[in-house]
Every structure is written in structure tokens, then in C-alpha cells.
Amino acid sequence: MPLLARLCLALAVLGTAAPALAKGYARLGTMYNSTESGVEGSTGKSSKMNLELGAGWVGSSGWSLGALYAQETQSSAGQDTLSQSGTGLTGGWIAGDDGFYGLLTYFLSLSRGSEKGTGLQVDLGYKFKAGKMSFAPQLSYRDFKFGNSSPKSISKTVSPLFVFWVDF
């Protein structure tokens, strides 16, 4: 079954459960890092940007189901820019408007250049309510595998993110 059909089916199933769930959410996470290193007169620059867009439902007990799109771009002086992105299904626990959350995302589809892959992401954070929105510092661990042959190319990262939440 194609990826888009699987995602539509999963969201349709989640949509039928929406009346039993307390509320929905949308979140946008981002992180940018720039580094310049070397010796005086000869330095190199590198940068990394993470962007995440997620949405889902939270039950009255705090359990959550949703989806996540994530993209990471890395560039270094003298090297090609490396970009990876993916879409996955998310489950976990969210304390509410304020408090701790822990989410696990299984990426059904990842791409990095011409390579395809799968992987997991674990997000741990703490939401702070600010008016109708919340914001959260978050720590994300990613474990991605790319390629069709053995051995597979792996990418394991730990990144801090700043996340904006809207509950509805």
C-alpha cells in the first residue's frame, strides 16, 4: 500500500475516534545551529536546521495519537548540503496545557538524497502555557536507517528544539 494511502487510512481511523478524545493539537518545532571553526585566517562554517510539524489528538487521560513531518538540513563549507526528511505516526503522553510530554514517532517514510529509509524519534519536553499557545524546550533523539543493501547507512542524533504548541 503506498505511503499516502497508509497515512490517509491512519488519519481516517484517528478521525473516527476524535469524539472520544478530549482535544487536538498542532506543534511546530525548530532549531538552528551555526559553527565556525579552524585557525585564524582559515576557518570553515557549518550549519544545521531542524524543522518539525506535527498534529494529533490528546485523550482526557493524556495519551496521544498523531502524525509528524520532520526535516533536517546540514551544510558545511566545501561540501554538498545534506537534507533528510520524513513522515511518521506519533504516539505518547502529554500532561496537558502545562507539563511534561513524551512522544515516540515511527517514520514510515524517510528520504536522504536518493536513499530511502525508516526510523524512530523520541521527543521529551516540558510545555509552558502562554495565553492560547504553549511553548516547550524539547530534546529529540533520532535513530534513522537508510538504504536497501546491507550494511545500511545510519544516522543517530540528539538535538534540542524549541516547540510552539496550539491546543484546540
Q: Which residue has the higher pLDDT, 84 or 43?
A: 84
Q: How far apart are CA 16 and CA 8, in angstroms?
A: 12
Distance of CA 50 to the CA centre of its chain: 8
Q: Are 36 and 47 in contact (CB under 8 A)?
A: no
Domain boundaries, the chain: 3-167
Cell match 509552558: residue?
128
Predicted pLDDT of residue 130:
92
Fold of 3-167: Porin (2.40.160)
CA 57 to chain CA mean position, Å: 16
Q: 23 Cβ partners below 8 Å, 6+ apart?
A: 57, 58, 167, 168
pLDDT tens figures, 106-115: 999 999 888 8
